[in-house]
Chains A and B, each alone.
Chain A
Amino acid sequence: GAGVSQSPSNKVTEKGKDVELRCDPISGHTALYWYRQSLGQGLEFLIYFQGNSAPDKSGLPSDRFSAERTGGSVSTLTIQRTQQEDSAVYLCASSSARTGRNGELFFGEGSRLTVL
């Protein structure tokens, strides 16, 4: 498709399990972002990939969170040993060099994670 694609759209897991969330950015977009939206909170920045540069991981809340971006395209956000406070909607966005400079990010519909 033409937009940012995320999967799964919904994930229910048990506390302590690991989860992987996938993001397929818009073709040709060099920048990829992960955000988290918890109930009643704004979008919390998690991590940012730009081309082949080292990612900006400054927003990851703990070492249980990690993300990879393979081949400069698809990204996977992994949460290990999930906790109930990890329950949120995880949003992925991408941008080109031009649109990123203008602050225009293109978002997917998100992956809703529920940790029981």
Chain B
Amino acid sequence: ETGVTQTPRHLVMGMTNKKSLKCEQHLGHNAMYWYKQSAKKPLELMFVYNFKEQTENNSVPSRFSPECPNSSHLFLHLHTLQPEDSALYLCASSQEGSNQPQHFGDGTRLSIL
């Protein structure tokens, strides 16, 4: 039990579908993150939210749309994805500040057909 829960764990979708990934943290943290992990690449930061405000968008295509309704929940809305978007999507949370370790969820394995 990591304190960060991601659903679903696996998702297969077509390029024209719309779906959402959900992340919930029970650690009382105030910063949340979305990462993408593709095969043989480093973890790529996508978005950062501090106190529900987006503070980082790492040049992510607009087909990925994050939403942070409160400091415990983070969503990633997906629409018209491409096959190269197939990857493991990881959510993390931490106390605000770059010297705080991030706690990760177990990820959503996304496959685009």
Indicate, yes or no, whether A interacts with B. no
